[in-house]
Amino acid sequence: DGGITQSPKYLFRKEGQNVTLSCEQNLNHDAMYWYRQDPGQGLRLIYYSQIVNDFQKGDIAEGYSVSREKKESFPLTVTSAQKNPTAFYLCASSIRTGPQETQYFGPGTRLLVL
Amino acid sequence: AQSVTQLDSQVPVFEEAPVELRCNYSSSVSVYLFWYVQYPNQGLQLLLKYLSGSTLVKGINGFEAEFNKSQTSFHLRKPSVHISDTAEYFCAVSEFGITGGGNKLTFGTGTQLKVEL
């Protein structure tokens, strides 16, 4: 059954703690993305990766880090430098067919600060 | 830079009535356009997309959208809504032919569709 999985569904972070959100896809997609969703603000791009071992900052990368060691995995670490981490985090992947791509999304992880 | 405006943050509608969710975009180049739906505490699901060709695009769950280049709009419509259509709807745009930047989508702020009996 192909798709994008994110874990955990809910994650709690203590002050000063780094936490890592998992994103895995078995769609053989080349590109992967991380978005943050806050109420009334839509989705904002944190990081994206077009190929293994390469990634670029999005619009709100400060306080976050990523890695892309395998094609199917793109974990996001929320560091202690991110002062307002409470949000819904969505992972997406896409494959390029000619000049266009379509992004498909995982079910999301909700991060809450204790 | 591209941008997307969804002017209506909430749209209440009675079941079996028609609905239109508005989306306007701004871009200096040709664009691809998308509508996604999000049910509570879930990820986004692709409803439909406009890449090229016919300006009327049909999607899943009976939704359709029309691309209007002169008005830079991509409004979403459904002739008769159901309770199960209650969800948040996002319009998104990506610019045609952008290289080296991935497929960066710019999203609107979303429209909450609430279908009432």
User: What is the signed CA dihedral for B72, B74, B79, B82, rounded to 10 degrees?
Assistant: -140
- DSSP-derived pairing of the beta strands B19-21 and B73-78: antiparallel
The tally of CA atoms less than 13 A away on the side-chain side of residue A43 is 27
| Mean pLDDT calculated for residue range A77-83 | 92
SS3 B93: strand
Average pLDDT, chain B: 91
Whole-Å CA distances, A111 to A26, A82, B12, B98 = 24, 12, 30, 32
**For B29, which DSSP code?**
S
As a whole number of Å, the CA-based R_g of chain A is: 14
Question: Which chain A residues are closer than 8 Å to B96 by Cβ?
Answer: 99-100
Secondary structure of residue B83 in the 3-state scheme: helix
A45–B108 CB contact, under 8 Å? no
> In Å, how far is A96's CA from the nearest CA of chain B?
9
A28 touches chain B (CB under 8 A): no
Which of B27, B35, B24, B26 has its CA nearest to residue B77? B35
| pLDDT higher than 80, residue A43 | yes
Contacts with A, B 57-96, CB within 8 Å = 90, 94, 96
A98 interfaces chain B, CB cutoff of 8 Å:
no
A33/B44 Cβ within 8 A: no
User: A102 — contact with chain B (CB < 8 Å)?
Assistant: yes
- A52 and chain B: CB distance < 8 Å anywhere? no
| φ and ψ at residue B103, rounded to 5 degrees | -115, 70
Question: Which has more pLDDT, A39 or B110?
Answer: B110
Write out chain A residues lying below 8 Å of B101, CB-based.
Answer: 56
Q: What Rg value do the Cα atoms of chain B yield, rounded?
A: 14
Q: What is the pLDDT of residue B103?
A: 64
**How close B8 gets to chain A, by Cα (Å)?**
11
CA distance A107 to B3: 25
Lowest mean pLDDT among B7-21, B41-55, B57-71, B78-92: B41-55
Task: Give per-residue pLDDT as tens, B2-51.
Answer: 899 999 999 999 999 999 999 999 987 888 899 999 998 899 999 999 98
